[in-house]
Amino acid sequence: MSDRSATDDGEADHEHGHSHHLEGPGYATPQAAIEDGSREKLAYVMSLYVGTDVDAPDFVAVVDLDPDSDTYSEIVDRVELPNRGDELHHFGWNACSSSCHVDELERRHLIVPGQRSSRIHVIDAKDRRNPELIKVIEPEDVFEYDLSAPHTVHCIPDGQILISMLGDADGELPGGFLELNEDFEIEGRWDQPGDIEMNYDYWYQPRRNVMVSSEWAAPETYYPGFDLDDVEAGKYGRKLHFWDWEAGTVEQTIDLGEEGLIPLEVRFLHTPESTHGFVGAALSSNVFHFWRDAGANGGAGEYRAEKVIDFESREHPDWDMPVPALPTDILLSMDDRYLFGSNWLHGEVWMYDVSDPSNPRRADSLSVGGTFGEIREVQGRELAAGPQMLQLSLDGERLYWTTSLFSSWDEEFYPEEGERGSVMLKADVDPRAGTLELDEDFLVDWGDCPAGPARAHEIRWPDGDCTSDVWQ
Amino acid sequence: MARTTHSSSHDVRLEWPDGRTRTIDVREDQTVLEAATCADIALPFGCRIGACATCTGRLLEVDEPDAPDGDDDRGAVDVEDAFEYRQQPRALKDRHRDDGYVLLCLASPRVDCRIAVGSSVHTELVDNPWK
């Protein structure tokens, strides 16, 4: 699968198959990304109309983040997709820092799946302000591999692209992984059908020859909306799967139990040698730390997981049951010092110091929007939903977020989101003091889109960010 | 609506919450979504494989030739008899089907009928469990 060499005995291979004379895309190390990366001037943001009565396709918004620009905090371009009904959700680059040794590769193409349609789009972003659609893989071509519902997109070393797929061709289980080649053609199925049942997010750490994947549910379960009956019927996930990255086989599965229900975003530390990482269990409102334990007497060891952050439910005076926090997104700062997250239902953005990953220390939080947030409006714009997808500047000083989770779930918990559209907000982060402060001068409003209010989801920077870069 | 008997198509009246209506002719080998698209009518949809329920409509009435007009109650009409599915409507639970919900991306009519359409129909399928 690649030209790297990796050991399976828990020891990092510091040669890892290539020299670090940087020729290809990305940065030589996470620290180089912090030092050499410039301030984010643009953002690409998934924007959608699926599930509404607005007769328009979803689009990729290009947002101006340059404070010196006349169009600062405005949507300056929209890449409209050819079909309605996609539900653009998560997306990724064709190449990242894991391909730093492949000198012909560029971080140039965005792979943009439709979560609901199973359609996969390829966008050429060579012109960063005016990206254009160049290719579409139709759902029928995806269904041929008995897969549907594309989710997480990562480049993998040498130019291929791997996409987690949450269902089979009928929207049932099992999910799996679809591999594209460097010409953006379907290469095939990466896993063996049935290796896992449920799928969601994944992250890989090539120097440790490991990939970790998490679980949501079958598309037929989560697509229509959240139903507690499905939880009681065991239809939602609670497991982490640790894969042999080169072999593409599951080596270990950890059942997180009742406190690990719906483990969504999963992040290894950026440090390429690290086996530590975190996963947010949305429904249980917990964050788990996972790591590979050194084996006794020099053995291979195994992965372990332990709950390290627990958010309490809150009583709402007019509601029947205590409301869970629902931490739907987490991310690690590029220096691996801070873990950030969003409690979508409560309306909270938080940061924990994870210098010691087994003992996170709450640094600060911001109460904004959602069901309980103290800050209810920005620039006169009432906030209709809670903080959701996050993105952090490479230097860790600016945290941005959007407010849409998934169209059908938005309708259930924040019906005003569809009527008003999403917003993108920003907090200034002081990594030295460990503080967050809402920047009330910054607001991007998807309520003003020409075709009508739109939802906004995942955010990416043109030249790498804290949730897409991996180092080989 | 005139009842179409022994024919290969049926009149389907689409009714939006804002009072707008459109009647389309849907062949028995077409889904309601396909016929609406041909008529340049935008209905919500997503997966087109019956898993996501984005296209959900609700059967309001099956046309009865002798019934007075203007009766909004669906009465005892069985939605399972009114439509034939191209493939299994996985997104609908039994309780949804009992209540007359139908996936318009897969369903072809077997009778003339009226259907509530628009994105708000889908939102009726689940409630915020904590509220």
pLDDT in tens, chain A (472 residues): 333 333 333 344 444 555 555 566 789 999 999 999 999 999 999 999 999 999 999 999 999 999 999 999 999 999 999 999 999 999 999 998 887 777 778 899 999 999 999 999 999 999 999 999 999 999 999 999 999 999 999 999 888 999 999 999 999 999 999 999 999 999 999 999 999 999 999 999 999 999 999 999 999 999 999 999 999 999 999 999 999 999 999 999 999 999 999 999 999 999 999 999 999 999 999 999 999 998 766 667 899 999 999 999 999 999 999 999 999 999 999 999 999 999 999 999 999 999 999 999 999 999 999 999 999 999 999 999 999 999 999 999 999 999 999 999 999 999 999 999 999 999 999 999 999 999 999 999 999 999 999 999 999 999 999 999 999 8
Distance CA(A168)–CA(A172), nearest Å, equals 5
Closest chain B C-alpha to A206 CA, distance in angstroms: 34
Q: In the 8-state DSSP scheme, what is residue A157?
A: T
Written as one letter, the residue type at A214 is S
Q: In the 8-state DSSP scheme, what is residue A19?
A: -
Interface probe for A, chosen from B33, B47, B86 (most Cβ of A below 10 Å), is: B47
Q: Are A61 and A49 in contact (CB under 8 A)?
A: no
Instruction: Give every CB contact of residue B94 below 8 A, 6+ residues apart in sequence.
Output: none
For residue A3, the model assigns a pLDDT of 31
How sure is the predictor about B1, in pLDDT bands with cuts at 50, 70 and 90? very low
B47–A116 C-beta distance less than 8 A? yes
How sure is the predictor about B67, in pLDDT bands with cuts at 50, 70 and 90? low
Distance CA(A351)–CA(A436), nearest Å, equals 8
How sure is the predictor about B74, in pLDDT bands with cuts at 50, 70 and 90? very low
Distance CA(A434)–CA(A432), nearest Å, equals 6
Spell out which residues of chain A touch residue B91, defining contact as CB-CB under 8 Å.
171, 220, 223-224
B46–A85 C-beta distance less than 8 A? yes
Q: Is the peptide bond before A174 cis (omega within 30 degrees of 0)?
A: yes
Is residue B21 within 8 angstroms of chain A, CB to CB? no
- From B47, B35, B6, select the one nearest B115 (Cα to Cα): B35
For residue B63, the model assigns a pLDDT of 85
List the single residue in A with minimal CA-CA distance to B92.
A224
A167–B51 C-beta distance less than 8 A? yes
Tell me how long chain A is. Answer: 472
Computed from CA positions of residues A48, A50, A51, A53, in that sequence, does the dihedral angle turn out positive or negative?
A: positive
Written as one letter, the residue type at B94 is D
Q: Are A313 and A285 in contact (CB under 8 A)?
A: yes
For residue B65, the model assigns a pLDDT of 58
Instruction: Give every CB contact of residue A303 below 8 A, 6+ residues apart in sequence.
Output: A212, A240, A242, A252, A254, A275, A290, A291, A292, A293
Is residue A139 within 8 angstroms of chain B, CB to CB? yes
B46–A51 C-beta distance less than 8 A? yes
Q: Which two tokens stand for residue A60?
A: 């990729």
B53–A228 C-beta distance less than 8 A? no
- From A147, A259, A168, A230, select the one nearest A412 (Cα to Cα): A230
Neighbours of A249 (CB within 10 A): 11
Q: Are A258 and A252 in contact (CB under 8 A)?
A: no
Is residue B94 within 8 angstroms of chain A, CB to CB? no
Find the mean pLDDT for residues B118-127. 97
Q: Which long-range contacts (CB under 8 A, 24 or more apart) does A396-399 make?
A: A396/A34, A396/A333, A396/A334, A396/A335, A396/A337, A396/A338, A396/A429, A396/A431, A397/A428, A397/A429, A397/A430, A397/A431, A398/A40, A398/A426, A398/A427, A398/A428, A398/A429, A399/A340, A399/A349, A399/A351, A399/A426, A399/A427, A399/A429, A399/A436
Interface probe for B, chosen from A49, A86, A223 (most Cβ of B below 10 Å), is: A223
pLDDT above 80 (res B7): no
Distance CA(A160)–CA(A187), nearest Å, equals 9
For residue B128, the model assigns a pLDDT of 95
Q: Do the strands B113-116 and B9-15 form a parallel or antiparallel pair, or are they unpaired? A: parallel
For residue A2, the model assigns a pLDDT of 32
Closest chain B C-alpha to A175 CA, distance in angstroms: 14
- From A116, A109, A123, A95, select the one nearest A24 (Cα to Cα): A95
For residue B84, the model assigns a pLDDT of 97
For residue A257, the model assigns a pLDDT of 97
For residue A236, the model assigns a pLDDT of 98
Distance CA(A472)–CA(A86), nearest Å, equals 32
Find the mean pLDDT for residues B7-23. 95
Global pTM exceeds 0.80: yes
3-state secondary structure of A68: coil
ipTM associated with this complex? 0.91
Written as one letter, the residue type at A219 is P
pLDDT above 70 (res B70): no
B53–A324 C-beta distance less than 8 A? no
